[in-house]
Amino acid sequence: MNIRKLKFYHFRNYDKASFSFEENGIHILRGNNAQGKTNVVEAIYFLSLLRSFRTSKPNLMIKHDEEMMMIEAQIESKERTEDLKVVLSEHKKQLFRFGQPVSTYSSFVGSLNAILFCPDDLMLFAGAPSQRRKFIDTELIKLSKTYTATLSHYQKLLKDRNLALKSTPVDRALIQVYTDQMIEDEKIIIKQRHAFLKDLIEKSQSLYPFFDDGKEVMDAVYKTFVPIDENLEQSLKEAYATSLSKDLFYKTTQLGIHKDDFIFSLNGVPVIESASQGQKRSVLLSLKLGLAHIVYEKDGQYPILLLDDVFSELDEGRKRTLIQMLPEQMQIFITSAEPIQTDWFKRKVFFYTIENGTIKEEVHERNE
């Protein structure tokens, strides 16, 4: 998958901007801080998931004193060219594919598959379980429409069940109806999360030694509220039956996949307890590259890889290793405020200087 063209209109600090990118190339966006490097990466990510990794309020992406913004891209996927466009105003979001309006998010998300690394990802280890669930769910949503629909249905059922628990008088029969439906959804979600994490860790474990010379072993454990075995459905029924009195007392659902967690470790010790910043970045990069390989196996093409400020707190050896590990059939965007040595690259690489919302492509190109 590649982005061939990218256009902005009133996006962040850009008034108007237009880019053309080479397929399977590494594109280095260089410049001082607060000049607009990360904005380019954010725009690509927004086209992938229709949300920003920098703000929960999309309207903040609209250029100051403007009423709307537009992001437009021409992407190439499996030798087919497709046009994507998002127009965002304060009260409305309009989506377009092939120049035609798209009415639902699910019909748009996944057209462009982008995997992101950014400094805030380090909170994956120190943050609340909700951040680790979001990490897993975000990737599964892009990979599986069944997972997307099931998770959305479960979230609605959970909301309805909690409302039923708060009602007076309590309708136990209605609560049981919601519970039975939630169990059906949870069987699917738990199995998919478990299988996905197993696959991700197997791939990431094979990549991590390149960063630490094989001194450590990374792993992860999926923590849910029932054993994941052939008796999953029965375990779910028993867990909800046991928890019902507590649910009624607290007037909210006390257990479920909305409280799951994923614990990442090095040599059996949780990353948050012992890993340095460099080790955390190495684990994250292994996970992100592992995700890219999962996408390739499922879809037959690599996603676009977005690396925002990836070189901070990595020594030169790890920086070189990272560049060498990037698949040659993958289009990659890297932002950096630091100098980058051109001899790290053995493939097509293109440099751009970004200053105050303007972009200038540099002449240098290396292709060996």
Residue with tokens 């950014």: 118
Q: How confident is the model at residue 363 (pLDDT cuts 50, 70, 90)?
A: low
Distance, CA of 137 to CA of 151 (rounded, Å): 9
Tell me which CATH code domain 1-113+303-368 carries. Answer: 3.40.50.300
Average pLDDT over residues 163-179: 96
pLDDT, position 323: 85
Mean pLDDT of 204-225: 87
Rounded Cα distance, 336 and 321, in Å: 17
Give the β-pairing of 349-355 and 26-30: parallel
- DSSP tag of 269: E
35 among annotated binding-site residues = yes
pLDDT tens digits, one per residue of 108-131: 888 899 999 998 898 999 999 999
Determine if residue 357 is labeled as part of a ligand binding site.
no
Write down the pLDDT at residue 367: 47
Q: How many C-alpha atoms does 201 have within 13 Å on its Cβ side?
A: 18
pLDDT at 37 over 70: yes
| pLDDT at 32 exceeding the cut of 90 | no
pLDDT in tens, 291-332: 999 999 998 999 999 999 888 777 777 788 888 888 889 999
Comparing 338 with 67, the larger pLDDT belongs to: 67
DSSP code of residue 237 = H
pLDDT at 368: 47
The answer to whether the annotation marks 32 as part of a ligand binding site is yes
**Do 5 and 44 touch, CB atoms closer than 8 A?**
no
Give pLDDT tens digits for 53-107: 999 888 999 999 999 999 999 999 888 999 999 999 988 999 999 999 998 887 8
The answer to which of 31-40, 200-209, 239-248 has the lowest mean pLDDT is 31-40
The larger pLDDT score, comparing residue 180 to residue 366, is at: 180
With vertex at residue 329, the alpha carbon angle to CA 20 and CA 73, rounded to the nearest 5 degrees, is: 30
What is the Cα gyration radius of the chain? 22
Question: Are 63 and 13 a contacting pair, CB within 8 Å?
Answer: yes
CB 60 within 8 A of CB 13: no
* 308 beta partners: 335
Can you give the pLDDT at residue 318?
Answer: 78
Tokens of 205: 């474990």
Token reading at 153: 């249905």
User: Which token pair is 339?
Assistant: 């100098």
pLDDT of residue 61: 94
Question: Cβ(227)–Cβ(235) under 8 Å?
Answer: yes
Burial pattern 137-173, b for ≥16 Cβ within 10 A else e, equals bbbbbbbbeebbebbebbeebbebbeebbeeeeeeee
- Once rounded to an integer, what is the mean pLDDT over residues 275-280? 85
CA–chain centroid gap for 201, Å, is 16
* CB-CB contact of 76 with 302 (8 Å): no
Span 184-193, pLDDT tens digits: 999 999 999 9
pLDDT for 252-268, tens place per residue?
Answer: 999 999 999 999 999 99
Residue 37, annotated ligand binder?
yes
**213, 131 Cβ separation under 8 angstroms:** no
Please list, residue by residue across 301-324, b when 16 or more beta carbons sit within 10 angstroms of its beta carbon and e when fewer do: bbbbbbbbbbbeebeeebbebbbe
Task: List % helix, strand, coil for the chain (3-state, nearest 5).
Answer: 45, 25, 30
Give the pLDDT band of residue 344 (cuts 50, 70, 90): confident
| Phi-psi map region of 356: left, alpha, beta (phi>0 left; psi -120 to 50 alpha) | left
Taking each helix axis from N to C terminus, what angle separates 172-207 and 277-299, rounded to the nearest 10 degrees? 100
Query: What sign does the dihedral 140-144-145-151 (CA atoms) show?
Result: negative
Q: Where are the domains of the chain?
A: 1-113+303-368
Dihedral sign (CA 152, 153, 156, 158): negative
Least confident stretch, 27-31, 48-52, 199-203, 210-214: 210-214
